[in-house]
Amino acid sequence: MRASIAAAMAAAVLIMPGFAVSCVAGTGIGKGIAPVGAEGPAQTHTQVGTVTDVNSGNMTFGCHWKTGDWTFWVTPGTNIRVGSAKGSFADIKTGEFVEVQFHFSGKRETADLVVLTP
């Protein structure tokens, strides 16, 4: 009997205006409520082209692809390779052929993997 009273009281709290959606809505997998406009996992994209400029102050580099010029942001988590060897941001030079795997972070293209062809 007490369990059914507790359940009824909990249901009454959930149907109060302002609480119904925020208390009941959720993913159903224990991760809570996703904020409005929340994005899913970052989708990875790949581009191949030529480095057009490098800005070490902003940790960005520009590339020219078939579809135009793009600017990529490099983070501490970006993996940079020169062929199969480990590289660094200093290895990215204008005119180099490059393959970039990236994701969108807001309106920025953030590089996940940069492979320079030696």
CATH assignment at residue 67:
2.40.50.320
Classified as helix, coil or strand, 105 is strand
Are 51 and 109 members of one domain? yes
SS3 of 100, please? Answer: strand
Contact partners, residue 25, CB within 8 Å, separation at least 6: 33
Residue 60 sits in which domain range?
45-116
Whole-number pLDDT of residue 118? 82
Query: Which residues is 60 bridged to in the sheet?
Result: 55, 73
pTM over 0.85: no
What is the gyration radius of the CA atoms in the chain, in angstroms?
24
> Within this chain, do residues 18 and 60 fall inside the same structural domain, yes or no?
no
Digit-by-digit pLDDT tens for the chain (118 residues) are: 445 444 444 444 444 344 333 333 444 444 444 443 445 567 999 999 999 999 999 999 999 988 899 999 999 999 999 999 999 999 999 999 999 999 999 989 999 999 999 8
